Structure 1
Amino acid sequence: MSNTAVIVGAGIGGLAAAHALRRIGWQVSVHEQAPVIGPVGAGVGIAPNAVKALDHLGLGAALRDRGRRQDGLEIRRRRGTRLAGISGSDIERRYDAPFYALHRAELHRLLTAGLDPDTLHTGHCADRVTTSEDRATVGFDTPQGPISVTADLVVAADGVRSGLRANLFPDYPGPDYAGYTVWRGLVPAEQAAPLRIPPVLSETWGRGARFGVAAIDAGRVYWFACESVPEHAALEHDLGRLAARFRDWHDPVPALPAATPEDALMRHDVYYLRERLPGFVRGRVALLGDAAHAVTPDIGQGACLAIEDAVVLAAAIERSGTARGLADYDAARRPRTERMARASGRIGRITQTRSRTAAALRDAAGAALPSSLLLRGAGAAFAWSPPAGESA
């Protein structure tokens, strides 16, 4: 009889875990609290480490078909002066994979396409979990009433505000506010075409604000705008306000909010897990993705680390069995992801500074970094590769 896994959360990490566990012969069910799994989100970057993870899962060809390869990464000042950058060819040569960008909904479709529809259960809100040495049970509120599902493994991939994490670790303080909010928008292909934006993932630094741009799939352009504001700040959901906020920044920054449909604008305050968890595993429950190690967007690794988690979890279980494999997963993932969570918070504080002096020092430090050093620095994330010897 096959081993069974219940995955809580049908985001990128949960769906990647479903693929990874199915590839080693497990039966999986994915339970999502949203009533419908639909196209949500804006752009997402898939760095070389995650490209290699998707290749390992047999999904690399679909990524290359749907995503847009980036010709480089760069940082600019608000007037347009280039501070630093890395070419896409250098990234691929050093880290054995390119950097892609695509709409998050396209990545989501890529991950759901290979799963049996009967695997996915919507409207299932997990509210409790119990675990023994060899089984775990999750309780769900569903449209049909409360249910319980027992399996050999429960994967808690239910996000930065994970209810299952709170259930397992009631004394853990939870996520911290990173000090800024992010507006995200998507410019349709027809409106994006006249702007002629190249496939270079770009971020521009100001004081207390940043603006990022990425040419993604199907001719569309994704952008984000970060603003340092108090937690829970009441800000008007208005593209005109954003256009005015960035009106004196270099082209094409001012044009992007103006070219964005109102229904394509989103805003989220940024939270991350600054405090270390006691572990990513309790009994037969494994935390994965943001539930385990939410990072800020400053390192572009949230989705990437979740896909890595899925690969490592399945590989460890295949190699060592479930109990030992879960311990190996915990030991392998915590040091890497905790470092990245802390680093993301520090980078966010530096890049979002409101201080004129601190911003000038930040820009000077960025301009002084040679491309070769910047490329080596990216290795903390990009150099990861899937465990050798497991199913691929």
Structure 2
Amino acid sequence: MRTAVIVGAGIGGLTAAQALRRTGWNVAVYEQAAAVAPVGAGVGVAPNAVKALDHLGLGTALREHGQRQQALEIRLRGGGRVAGIPASRFERRYGTPFYAVHRAGLHRILMDGLDAASLHTGHRATGVALGPDAATVTFQGPQGEVAVAADLVVAADGVRSALRTALLPAYPGPTYAGYTVWRGTLPAERVARLGLRPVLSETWGRGARFGMGMIDGGRLYWFACESVPEGSPLAHDLGLLADRFARWHAPIPAIMTATPEETLLRHDVHYLHERLPSFVHGRVVLLGDAAHAVTPDIGQGACLAIEDAVTLAAALENAPAGIDAGLRLYDTLRRPRTERMARASGRLGHIMQTRNPVAALARDTVASVLPDALLIGAAGAAFTWTPPLGAT
């Protein structure tokens, strides 16, 4: 049986484990955290990722546990609606609904059926060696250093991938997108008091944005973005953050006031602006953020990682000349699409986060006069993806 080592137990790594296991691979997942306990708030599952999960047999679980969205909307800080599109119009065009789910819930879906003995926590990847028909990863684990060899190594270890650095030491690494993001989650009982509907909504200001969406269990997640210099020492204080959005339209101030302090998260946003020469190096393949980290502006980070995993398993299963040919096919299929997405996300982030009043007015004006059909069509680059022939 062919063996695979997956480095990273995030969404991309766990989806890869599911996809490879379903095509006959013996899979082991190594995670540097002491436990597979995802942090974060909500994650949007767009139609392209729903199709990928359907092909893995996980779509039913997503529909049972995720929150189907009724509409997508864009507003301005004062409350004016720039766009409001019923989700049914996207469904008719792209075949499946939008869902939103807490990251922990998506993790549970992706871990279903995986052998607990195949998950190895507390293992930090420190290096990789390439052989003619295998690769060996070195980990620092609870019992010291350990080397693990496999027919295939999947580097799904995030935007600051240690394996990518080991393979491509001259690569410049992630680029700062120009803004930081806070995230929070409201429990169901507080959401019920606010009378909110399951609508994915984003509000634009100058140098700032606020977005929200209902997720599983009647909860709500939100994010708030602010354009600041990289590494700005902003206080991790929900009250101070709420003050900055206090004059935005309802229900934004009430949402922030109702947010439990302990759910607040913050990080600067980075993405991979510079192209990689390849996603494949010998028997090591880069996947998800390790290969093509995008900004949140296109809502595709997790979705692209899920696509990667389905495509990888299909390419390896259907390449007649074996593993190496399958990896070349994966690179051919994934690199052009994801490179376009990464560059587009960076450009869109600069537009969305502009502090320039003239540029912000132009952004709002253009968006407000575009017909809904054009806005729906603009999503086609992402949403029209379908699993490759032969994906399981």
Could you say which TM-score interval applies, normalised by the shorter chain? over 0.9
The letter of the residue matching 2:10 is: G
Q: Are residue 275 (structure 1) and residue 274 (structure 2) matched?
A: yes
The answer on whether the counterparts of 1:178 and 1:345 sit within 8 Å (CA) in structure 2 is yes
**Once the 2 structures are TM-superposed, how far is the Cα of residue 194 of structure 1 from its aligned partner?**
1.0
Match of 2:32 in 1: 33
Q: Give deviations 1:217-261, integer Å, cap 9, x for gaps.
A: 111110000000010000111111111101111111011111111
- Structure 2 gaps of 5+ residues are none
Aligned to 1:147: 146
Matches within 5 A, 1:304-343: 304-320=303-319, 321-343=322-344
- Helix, strand or coil: the match of 1:303? helix
SS of the equivalent of 1:248 reads: coil
Question: In structure 1, the residue corresponding to 2:303 is in which secondary structure?
Answer: helix
TM-score scaled by structure 2?
A: 0.99
Alignment of 1:1-392 (within 5 A): 2-320=1-319, 321-390=322-391, 392=392
Please tell me the root mean square deviation across aligned C-alpha atoms, in Å. Answer: 0.7
Mean CA deviation greater in 146-155 or 193-202: 193-202
Counterparts of 1:251 and 1:94 in 2: how far apart (Å)?
31
**Aligned-residue identity in percent:** 68
- Whether the 8 Å CA contact 1:8–1:14 is kept in 2: the answer is yes
The one-letter code matched in structure 2 to 1:359 is A
1:236 alignment partner AA:
A
Residue 252 of structure 2 aligns to a residue whose secondary structure is coil
Preserved CA contact (<8 Å) 2:12 2:306: yes
Query: After the TM superposition, which parts of structure 1 deviate over 4 Å for at least 4 consecutive aligned residues?
Result: none
5+ unaligned residues in a row in structure 1: which ranges?
A: none
Structure 1, residues 21-78: CA drift from partner, whole Å, max 9, x if none?
0011000000000001124210000000000000001100000011000011111000
- Aligned to 2:387, the other structure's residue is in SS state coil
In structure 1, distance between residues paired with 2:263 and 2:207: 24
Which stretch has the larger CA shift, 21-30 or 187-196?
187-196
How far residue 389 of structure 1 moved from its aligned partner, in angstroms, is: 2.9
1:254 aligned counterpart, secondary structure: helix
Tell whether the 8 Å contact from 2:78 to 2:248 is kept in structure 1 after alignment. Answer: yes
In structure 1, what is the Cα distance between the partners aligned to 2:37 and 2:389?
Answer: 35
CA distance in 1, matches of 2:180, 2:39: 18
Encode CA deviations 1:119-147: one digit per residue, 9 max, x unaligned: 10000000000112310000000010100
- State the secondary structure of the residue aligned to 1:267: strand
Aligned mates of 1:238, 1:191 — CA distance in 2: 20
Amino acid aligned to 2:74: I
User: How far apart are the structure 1 equivalents of 2:341 and 2:167?
Assistant: 23
How many pairs align? Answer: 390
Give the Cα–Cα distance (whole angstroms) in 1 for the partners of residues 299 and 87 of structure 2. Answer: 16
TM normalised by structure 1 equals: 0.99
Q: Distance in 1 between matches of 2:258 and 2:86?
A: 28
CA contact (8 A) 2:10 2:38 kept: no
